[in-house]
Amino acid sequence: EPEVTQTPSHQVTQMGQEVILRCVPISNHLYFYWYRQILGQKVEFLVSFYNNEISEKSEIFDDQFSVERPDGSNFTLKIRSTKLEDSAMYFCASSTTDIGGTEAFFGQGTRLTVV
C-alpha cells in the first residue's frame, strides 16, 4: 500500500543550526502538508503546498521556515535557525486533491530535538 515516507526518523540538532526534514509523498498526490506536534499537545498545521507554491500557512510558519519540492518526488521542510521550542514531532502529509475533498495520509514523523 502506498505510504508517505519521512527521513530521518529522529534528528538532534544544536540551537541555531539549520535542519532539513525530508518527505516522499504518495506518488499520485498533488497536495502536500507539514504539521507538528509538541509533546503532549495537539497536532498543529504549519503549511500546505500545491503546484509549487504555498496555499496556506499558519502563524507558526514564520520566516524561519521554508518548504520546497526540489524534484518530482521529495518535499522538504527547512528550519533556518532552530530554537529550543522547535523541538517536536514533524509530520508530512499528502492528498490527491485539496484536503476539503479527500483524506490526508500522514507519514511516521520526524522527531526533532533541539539542544
Partner 1 sequence: KQEVTQIPAALSVPEGENLVLNCSFTDSAIYNLQWFRQDPGKGLTSLLLIQSSQREQTSGRLNASLDKSSGRSTLYIAASQPGDSATYLCAVVGAGSYQLTFGKGTKLSVIP
List interacting residues with partner 1 (CB under 8 A): 6, 31, 33, 35, 41-45, 48, 50, 55-56, 58, 89, 91, 93, 98-109, 111
Taking the complex as a whole, how short is the minimal distance between the CB of residue 43 and partner 1, in angstroms? 4
What are the CA-CA distances from residue 64 to residues 27, 31, 41, 73, 80 (Å)? Answer: 28, 22, 22, 24, 5
Asked if 37 contacts 88 with a C-beta cutoff of 8 angstroms, the reply is yes
Asked if 23 contacts 5 with a C-beta cutoff of 8 angstroms, the reply is yes
Closest CB to partner 1 among residues 3, 68: 3
Closest CB to partner 1 among residues 42, 70: 42
The answer to whether the bond into 8 is cis (omega within 30° of 0) is yes
In angstroms, rounded to a whole number, what is the distance separating the alpha carbons of residues 11 and 19?
A: 9
Taking the complex as a whole, how short is the minimal distance between the CB of residue 79 and partner 1, in angstroms? 19
Closest CB to partner 1 among residues 3, 18: 3
Taking the complex as a whole, how short is the minimal distance between the CB of residue 18 and partner 1, in angstroms? 24
Taking the complex as a whole, how short is the minimal distance between the CB of residue 86 and partner 1, in angstroms? 18
